[in-house]
Amino acid sequence: MKFAFEQIITTMKSRVDEAVKKFESGYNCAQAVFATYADLFGMTEEDALKLASPMGGGMGRMREVCGTVSAMALLEGLKEGNTDPLDKAAQGRTYETVRALSDSFTEENGSIICRELLGILSKEKSAVPSERTKEYYQSRPCTRLVASAARIVEEQLLADRME
């Protein structure tokens, strides 16, 4: 059963700053974006944080698709995801939306690939997250990428609900 978020909210203030605060408090990029909006679709914050946790660092810190982009795709799935394997039109609409979200992110940031966004040239060897220090936040574009993805979610998935 799809959760009808239209029934709970009429207008909503921007949550971009909330997503950034989540990231800067230690959550990974995917968690920060996904958990900021998942409640609009009936998901608890705890479940949202668990579901998005493996997507950080470009999925398991492999530096592939940026976790913020994965979070946007997951949010689209909660909003309009297809549950009928025979409904190819619905599946196509979801894929089109994910592509549009990704295209907007690429237009704004240059790529959806984590290692490209971070300027990492070699394969990531460690799965252990980096220490979150002041220097960490200053040396990486991740805070800006979280804000970018959150804005895109609001503009493209939640536009009709924003103040």
4 within domain boundaries: no
Residue 148 lies in a domain: yes
Counting Cβ atoms within 10 Å, is residue 58 exposed (0-12), middle (13-18) or buried (19+)? buried
Number of folded domains that form the chain? 1
Say which amino acid occupies 64. Answer: E
Sign of CA dihedral 72, 140, 63, 26: negative
Residue 141 lies in a domain: yes
**Whole-model pTM over 0.95:** no
Convert the pLDDT of each residue in 112-129 to its tens digit.
999 999 999 887 888 888
- Do the beta carbons of residue 48 and residue 39 sit within 8 Å? yes
Q: Tell me whether residue 5 is in a domain.
A: no
Instruction: State pLDDT tens for residues 1-20.
Output: 444 445 444 567 999 999 99
Q: What is the CA angle 27-117-127, rounded to 5?
A: 50
